Structure 1
Amino acid sequence: MKRKDQMIGSAFLCALLCLLMAVSGCQSMEDQNYTVPAAEKSETVNLKFFGNKNEALNVVAIEEILKAYMEEYPDVNITYESVKGADYFDVLMKRIRSGNGDDIFMINHDTMLELMKTGELADLSGLPTIEDFSPGARSQMTFDGVVPFVPTSISAFGLYCNLGLLAENNLEVPETYAEFLAACEVFSEKDITPIVANNDISLKTLAISRGMFEVYKGGGAEKALEQMNADPSLLAEAMRPGFEMVHLFIDRGYVDAGRTLKTEKTKDDLADFATGSYPFMLTGAWASPRVAALNPGLNYKVYPYPAQEDGSVLVTNVDTRVAVNARSAHVEEAKKFLEYLTQKDVMWEFVDSQSSFSPLEDNRLSSDPAVQPLNAYMTNGRSILGTDSNLKYPIWDLSKESVRGLLKGQSVEEVLGDFEAGLKKSQPGGAQ
C-alpha cells in the first residue's frame, strides 16, 4: 500500500511540473539548445587523394595545401598517395574497376574518356569556383554537358636549350624548323647526339606541334575537330607531318632511337641533359626546377618547339586534372575540397611548384626564370593543345604508340595505318 501511494505521489508531482512548464511558456524540445552526447557526434571523414605528382616540390605543395585545409576543416582528414609515370594510370584504372577507387584522383584526357563511359566521374559543374577559370580552360572542362574534372595547371612542353653549348658553336636558339634542323646537323657532324628525348612525352608532343598547328591556326579549330570526330582519317592525315618529322630526326641520328626507348621521363632524360653534354632536350617545363637542382651551374632556358617554317609553337595541356569518384561514400566532402583547391591563391602554390601556368582568369605566369621564354606564347596565337577535350579520341596514348613504332623502325605509312586503326577502335561500337 505504501508503494502504491508513492507511485501516485510521483505521478502527481510529474503532472504538476508539466503544468508549471506549460504555464511559464517553456520552449519545446525542438527549440532548445543542447549538447550532443559524444557518442552522437559525427565522425571524422577520411578522404583519399591519388595522383601522379611525386616530385619533391610538387608533393610539398600538395601536403601544405592538405594541411591548411584540414586545419580549417578539422572534421576532415585527407591523405595523398602517388605513383610515378605512366604506371599511375594503369593502377588508377585497376583500382576503379575493382571498386576500390579513391575519393579524389588525377586523370588525363584519355582516362577521362574511359571513365566518362562508365559514369565514374562526379559532375563538378556546381562548384562556385568554376566561373574563376579562364574561357579557354572552361572550354576544355565541359564534356557531354557535365564538368568531369577541374584543371589545376596549364602544363607546357618545350625545347630545353643548353645556351652555353650553343654559344660555343656560334648558334642561336632555333625559332623555325629549318633553323632547328641546321643546329641539329652541326652537332651531329661532331658526333654529338643533338636531342635528349624520353620514351613518353618528348617526341609525341613534338609531332603534335608539327602536325596540329594548322588545325588551330587562325582560330578555326572547333569546326576542324568536329570533322575529325566524324572522320578519324582526317586526324591521321593531320598528324602525318608530325610523324614524318620524328622519322627524319631518327633517320638522321638527331635522336638515339635505342636509348630513347629506355629513357624514363623526368628521370633519365634530365640526368643526361644536366651533364651539359647535349644541346637540346624535349620535355615538360615542369621539369625545370629538377634540372636546376641537378646542375645549378647549367646555363639553360626552355623555349617553344621550333616546328614550323614560320616560327615556333607552344604545346600546352589544360592539365593536372582532378576528379571526384562518383561512387565515393564522400562525394560532397570531396567536392568541398576541390572548391578549396581551386581558389586562386591556393591553386597558385601548386601551379608555381610545377613551373606551369594558371588556368584561372588571373593569368599568373611562372616565376621560374628558365621558362620565361614561354610566357609570350600563352597569348600570341601560336599555342595549341596537346589533348583537346573537344577531340573524342585518345590521341595522347595513340601518338605515344606511334612514336614508339617509329623508334623501333616502322615506316611512317605503317605508323599512320596503326594510328588510324586505333582511332577507329576507340569510337563507340569500334572493333574490340
Structure 2
Amino acid sequence: MRKWILVLTAMCLSITMAGCSNMAEQSSQENGQGVPEEDRTDETFTLRVSYWAQDKNGYLDAVDKKFKEKYPNATIEWDKLDEKNFAEATDSELTSGQAADILFTQKIKEYAKAGYLLDLSDQQWTQRMIDSAKQTVSYKGKTYGGALDVSTFGAYYNKTIFDSLQLQPPGTWDEFIALCARIKEAGISPILGGFKDTWTIQGAYLPIAATSEFLDNPDFEWDVYAGKAKIDGPEVNDALRKFQELAQGGFFNPDAMQIGYDESTQQFIDGKGAMQLMGSWTPGVVDSKTSGFNMGFFAIPDENGKTVMAAAPDKQVSINAKTLYAVEAKYLVSLLLDKEMLAIYSKNVALSAFKDVIAEYGNPAMKEVQRALQLHPTSINPGHLFTQSANAAISEALNRILSGKELTNELKEADENYIKDKASLIMD
C-alpha cells in the first residue's frame, strides 16, 4: 500500500511546468514578514537546507532574497539531493548526526518519533494548512513541519463531451450514476481505466473511499487502531459498494483490465471516454501530450452531496533538532511556507497544502481542483494508516469487483491482517 501511495504522490511532478514568476519581487508584508530596518542583524552564519524539490519558478531564489533582507551576512546552502535516494541519504545523515539544519522529507512522523526534529507547534503558519497536511506533519499532538504541496483525487472530465451531451457535474452520488448511464447510452465509455497497471485502481477508488471513510468520522482509521472501529464495517463496505456499482453498471471501458495508464490516458485524449478518476497530476500529463484539450474537474459526492477529498502531502519541510540556529531556521521555514512564496512554488507545478495560497495555473482544471481543496474537508489517503497486509486484502476485493467476481471475506481478512501487523504502524 505505502508503495503505491508514494508512486501516486511522486507522479504529481508530471504536471507541466511553467516559466519563472515575477512574483519573486512581491513583498510579504501582509503576512507579517516584512523586515523593518531595526530587525536586521549582521550576524554571520550558514544554514544548510537539504531538498529534492524541482524549482522551476524561482521559488528558492525568492526565499533566499527575502531571508537576506533580515540576515544580510547569512548564507543559505541549498543542498539538492537525488530524487531517487533522498530518503536514504537523509536517514544516513540523521543517524550520523550530520544532517542539514532544514530538511525536506516525507517521513516527519518517523523522524519526530526518533527525536530528530524540532517542535514547531508554536509557529503561526501551522494554522493555515489543510486538515490532511496537519495530520501528516504531526506526532503525538505536536507539529514538526509543514507540507508544501499535496496530491488529490477526483473526476477529470472532457468538457467537449459533456457540452455535446448537455451534461453538468453531478451534485450527488445518484446524479453521478445517472450521468454515467447517460454517457454510456451515447456510446462513450463513462470512465476510462488502465487497470493493467494495478496502482491505477487506487486512483478510481480513493476519491470514493475518502468520503465513505472520513465524512462522518474524521478519526476513522485512528479508531480502527484503537479497536473502536473495524475495516469490515460500514465505512469501507460503503466504498466497495459504490465501486462495485460503477463496475457492474459497465461504466468502465471494456478493455480497462487489458490496458495500462498510458493507453487509458490516450483514450481520454482521443475522446473515447468522458472521465478519468485519477490524481491531480492528470492535467499536466494531458497537457504534455496534446494542446487544446478542454478539461474540467469535480469531486465525487455522496448521496447527500457531501465530499471529503483525499489529499496526501508530498514535500514536507522540518528543522533538525540539533541545529545551532533554531531561531534563524524557524524564520527561514516561515518564508518557505509564506503564502506569496508558495504561490511562486506552486505555479503550474503543484497544489498547495495551505488554504490561503492562490497559485496561477495554465490549465483551468487545476484551478477547479485547487478551489475544491479549499471548499471541501480533506483527509489522508484511505488506507494510509492500515497495515500493508490489510491493504493487500482490500486491493484483492477491488480486483475481484473489476473481474466480475463476488466478494468473499476480503474485509474480514483485512481486519485479521491488521490486528496481526498493527505494531508496525506509527500513530499519533
TM over 0.5, yes or no? yes
Give the one of 279, 284, 298 matched to 2:279. 284
1:92–1:115 distance in 2 versus 1, CA, 3 Å: farther
* % identical aligned pairs: 14
1:188-199 equivalences in 2 (<5 Å): 188=184, 192-197=188-193, 199=199
Whether the 8 Å CA contact 2:148–2:354 is kept in 1: the answer is yes
Q: Tell me the CA shift for residue 202 of structure 1.
A: 0.9
Which structure is richer in relative contact order (CA contacts within 8 A, separation 6 or more)?
2
1:351–1:235 distance in 2 versus 1, CA, 3 Å: farther
In the aligned structure 1, how far is the partner of 2:214 from the partner of 2:364?
26
1:295 aligns with 2:290: yes
Tell me the equivalent position of 1:75.
Answer: 75
Unaligned runs of 5+ in 1: 1-40
1:203 aligns with 2:242: no
Tell me the equivalent position of 1:241.
Answer: 238
1:94–1:164 distance in 2 versus 1, CA, 3 Å: same
Q: Which amino acid aligns with 2:385?
A: Y
User: When the two structures are superposed, what TM-score results if normalisation uses the length of structure 1?
Assistant: 0.66
1:417 aligns with 2:412: yes
Residue 215 of structure 1 aligns to a residue in which SS? coil
Whether the 8 Å CA contact 1:249–1:255 is kept in 2: the answer is yes
1:401–1:149 distance in 2 versus 1, CA, 3 Å: farther
Residue 343 of structure 2 aligns to a residue in which SS? helix
Deviation track 1:93-132 (CA, whole Å, cap 9, x = no partner) reads: 544555588742331xxx5554444x16513416744355
Q: Which amino acid aligns with 2:78?
A: I
Whether the 8 Å CA contact 1:156–1:314 is kept in 2: the answer is no
1:400–1:174 distance in 2 versus 1, CA, 3 Å: farther
Larger Rg computed on CA atoms: 1
Give the one of 38, 48, 51 matched to 1:49. 51
1:327-338 equivalences in 2 (<5 Å): 332=326, 337-338=332-333
Q: Tell me the CA shift for residue 67 of structure 1.
A: 2.7
Q: Which amino acid aligns with 2:140?
A: D
Tell me the equivalent position of 1:180.
Answer: 176
Give the aligned CA root-mean-square deviation in angstroms.
4.3
Deviation track 1:155-208 (CA, whole Å, cap 9, x = no partner) reads: 442211112112333433333222322333344456643223462441231332
Deviation track 1:266-309 (CA, whole Å, cap 9, x = no partner) reads: x6654442333220011233542443453332222111114x22
Give the one of 121, 135, 138 matched to 1:142. 138
Q: Which amino acid aligns with 1:211?
A: S
Q: Which amino acid aligns with 1:153?
A: D
In the aligned structure 1, how far is the partner of 2:395 from the partner of 2:248?
13
Tell me the equivalent position of 2:316.
Answer: 322
Corresponding pairs, count: 360
Which range moves more in the overlay, 415-424 or 184-193? 184-193
Residue 105 of structure 2 aligns to a residue in which SS? strand
In the aligned structure 2, how far is the partner of 1:378 from the partner of 1:334?
29
Unaligned runs of 5+ in 2: 1-43, 69-73
Residue 293 of structure 2 aligns to a residue in which SS? coil
In the aligned structure 2, how far is the partner of 1:341 from the partner of 1:79?
15
Tell me the equivalent position of 1:24.
Answer: none
Whether the 8 Å CA contact 2:310–2:380 is kept in 1: the answer is yes
1:183–1:285 distance in 2 versus 1, CA, 3 Å: same
Which range moves more in the overlay, 276-285 or 185-194? 185-194
1:241–1:349 distance in 2 versus 1, CA, 3 Å: same
Residue 313 of structure 1 aligns to a residue in which SS? coil
1:393 aligns with 2:385: yes
Q: Which amino acid aligns with 2:165?
A: N
Whether the 8 Å CA contact 1:288–1:370 is kept in 2: the answer is yes
Residue 280 of structure 1 aligns to a residue in which SS? strand
1:294–1:131 distance in 2 versus 1, CA, 3 Å: same
Whether the 8 Å CA contact 1:233–1:420 is kept in 2: the answer is no
